[in-house]
Chain A
Amino acid sequence: MFAAPRKLSLADWGERHLQLQQAGRREPFYGGPLRRHVELEKDFRLEQLQFDNSPAALRLWNFFLTENSRLHQARTAGDKIVGTMKDLGTVPVMAYALPGVRAFYPDGAWWTPCLMECSDKLLQQAAAMGVDASFCPVRAMLPAFENGEHFPKPELIICSTGAVCDDFSAIAQRLEHRGHPVFWWEIPRRRAPAVGETSCELPGKLLAPRSQVEAVRAELQRVADALGQLAGKSLGDSALTDGIRAANHIRQILADLRQAVYSAPAAPLPALEMLIAEMLAIHFCSDRPEAGLVLGELLAEAQRRMQQNQFVLPPDAVRIFWVNPVADLRAMNLLEDVGGRLCGTDFMFSHALDLIPESLPPLEALARTALADPMVGPASDRAKRIIRECQTYDAEAVVISRIPGASHCAREGESIREMVRQELGIPVVEMEIPPVCDAMLPTMTSRLEALVETARNKAKGLKPNSL
Chain B
Amino acid sequence: MNVFLTSPWIPAEWIRAHGLTSRPLWLEERLSNAPVALSAGVCAVAETTVRFAETHPADAVVFTSACDQMRRGYDEGKFRGQSRVFLFNLPATPTPAARQIYCDELRRLGRFLQEMGGAAPDTKSLWQEIRRAGEARRNLRAIAPSANARSLAEAVAAYHCDGTCSEISTCPSDDRISLALIGGAFPKSDWTLFKSVEQAGGRVTLNATKSGERSLCPEGVDAGDPFEALASGYFDHITDAFQRPNTRLYDWLKPRLPARGVRGLVLWHFTGCDLWRAEAQSLREAFGLPVLLLEAGEATGRSPRDQTRLQAFIEMLKAEG
Q: Residues of A with Cβ closer than 8 Å to B?
A: 129-131, 134-135, 159, 161-167, 169-174, 176-178, 182, 184-186, 188-189, 191, 194, 211-212, 214-216, 218-219, 222, 378-380, 405-412, 414-415, 418-419
- Determine how close the nearest CB of chain A comes to the CB of B287; give it in whole angstroms: 12
In the complex the two chains form, is B89's CB within 8 Å of A130's CB?
A: no
Q: How far is the CA of A82 from the CA of B271 in the complex (A)?
A: 34
A415 touches B274 (CB 8 A): no
Closest Cβ–Cβ distance, residue A180 to chain B (whole Å)? 11
Q: Is the CB of A411 within 8 A of B92?
A: no
Interface residue from B43, B72, B96, B274 paired with A135 (Cβ < 8 Å): B274
Assess A161 versus B93: contact at CB under 8 Å? Given A166-B274, A177-B282, A411-B73. yes
Per-residue CB proximity of B92-105 to A under 8 Å, as 1/0?
Answer: 11011110110010
Residues of B within 8 A of A (CB): 39-43, 65, 67-69, 71-73, 75-76, 78-79, 87, 89, 91-93, 95-98, 100-101, 104, 108, 111, 242, 244-246, 271-275, 277-282, 284-286
- A173 and B278 form a contact (CB under 8 A): yes
Task: Give the CA-CA distance A177 to B280 in the complex, in Å.
Answer: 11
Complexed CA–CA distance, A164 and B67 (Å): 8
CA distance A290 to B69 in the complex (A): 39
17 new A-B contacts at CB < 8 Å, known A170-B274, A172-B244: A129-B281, A135-B274, A162-B65, A165-B68, A173-B278, A174-B278, A188-B91, A189-B89, A191-B87, A191-B89, A214-B97, A219-B95, A378-B75, A379-B76, A410-B39, A410-B69, A418-B79
Closest 10 pairs between A and B when the two form their complex, measured CB to CB: A130-B281, A170-B278, A410-B41, A166-B274, A407-B68, A161-B244, A218-B97, A177-B282, A411-B72, A189-B65
Q: Which residues on B sit within 8 Å (CB–CB) of A186?
A: 91-93, 95, 97-98, 101
How far is B244's CA from A171's CA once the two chains are assembled, in angstroms? 11
The docked-state distance in angstroms from the alpha carbon of A174 to that of B285 is: 11
A177/B286 in contact, CB under 8 A:
yes
Q: In whole Å, how far is A136's beta carbon from the nearest beta carbon of chain B?
A: 9
Q: Which of A214, A405, A408, A410 has the largest count of B CB atoms less than 10 A from its CB?
A: A410
Task: Give the distance in Å from the alpha carbon of A129 to the alpha carbon of B285 in the complex.
Answer: 11
Closest to B291 in A: A130
Report Cα–Cα, A129/B206, bound state, in Å.
26
Q: Is the CB of B286 within 8 A of A161?
A: no
Shortest distance between the CB of B112 and any CB in chain A (Å): 9
Asked whether A189 lies within 8 Å of B98 as measured between CB atoms, the reply is no
A167 touches B42 (CB 8 A): no
Cross-chain contact of B245 among A173, A380, A407 (Cβ < 8 A): A173
Main secondary structure of the interface of B (DSSP, over half): helix
Q: In the complex, what's the smallest C-beta–C-beta distance from B84 to chain A, in angstroms?
A: 16
Once the chains bind, are A166 and B65 in contact (CB under 8 Å)? no
| Contact across chains for A134 and B275 when beta carbons are under 8 A apart | no
Residues of A within 8 A of B275 (CB): 166, 169-170
A406 touches B101 (CB 8 A): no
Contact assessment for A215 and B101 in the assembled complex, using a CB-CB cutoff below 8 Å: yes
A407-B273 Cα distance, complex, nearest whole Å = 8
In the bound complex, what is the Cα–Cα distance between A229 and B253 (angstroms)? 34
**Residue A380 contacts which of B42, B79, B274 (CB distance < 8 angstroms)?**
B79
26 interchain pairs, CB-CB under 8 A: A130-B278, A131-B281, A134-B277, A162-B98, A162-B244, A163-B89, A165-B68, A170-B275, A172-B244, A173-B246, A177-B282, A186-B101, A189-B65, A189-B71, A211-B104, A214-B100, A215-B100, A218-B97, A219-B97, A407-B68, A408-B68, A408-B72, A410-B40, A412-B72, A414-B39, A415-B75
Whether A379 pairs with B75 at a CB distance below 8 angstroms is yes
Taking CB atoms, residues of chain B closer than 8 Å to A129 are 281
Chain A neighbourhood of B244, CB < 8 A = 159, 161-162, 169, 172-173, 182, 184
Separation in Å of the A175 CB from the closest CB of chain B?
A: 10
Contact, CB under 8 Å: B245 / A378: no
CB neighbours (8 Å) of B101 from chain A are 186, 188, 211-212, 215
Name the residue on A nearest B272 (C-beta): A410
Q: Is A184 within 8 A of B93, CB to CB?
A: yes
Cα-based distance from A157 to B78 in the complex (angstroms): 36
CB distance from A157 to the nearest CB of B (A): 12
CA distance A164 to B87 in the complex (A): 15
CB distance from B147 to the nearest CB of A (A): 30
**Cα separation A215 to B97 with both chains bound (whole Å):** 5
Which residues of chain A are within 8 angstroms of B280 by Cβ–Cβ distance?
130
When C-beta atoms are compared, the residue in chain B nearest to A377 turns out to be B75
Among B75, B78, B285, the one with the most A-chain Cβ atoms within 10 Å of its Cβ is B75
Shortest CB-to-CB span from B52 to chain A, Å, is: 16
**Of A170, A184, A380, which one neighbours B277 at CB under 8 angstroms?**
A170
Q: Which of B39, B78, B272 makes the CB contact (< 8 A) with A134? A: B272
Q: CB-CB < 8 A to A173: which residues of B? A: 244-246, 278, 282
Contact across chains for A415 and B79 when beta carbons are under 8 A apart: yes
Q: Which residues of B contact A185 (CB under 8 A)?
A: 93, 95
Contact A188 B282 (CB under 8 A): no
Residue B79 contacts which of A135, A163, A379, A410 (CB distance < 8 angstroms)?
A: A379
Minimum CB–CB distance for A7 against chain B, Å: 33
Q: Collect the chain A residues with CB atoms within 8 Å of residue B39's CB.
A: 410, 414
Q: How distant is the Cα of A134 from the Cα of B269 in the complex, in angstroms?
A: 13
Contacts of B71 in A (CB 8 A): 163, 189
Complex contacts, A378 vs chain B, CB 8 Å: 75, 78
A172 to B39, CA, bound (A): 26
Residues of A within 8 A of B246 (CB): 173
Cα–Cα distance between A334 and B73 once the two chains are bound (Å):
33
Report which residue of A129, A161, A169, A184 has the largest number of chain B beta carbons within 10 angstroms of its beta carbon.
Answer: A169
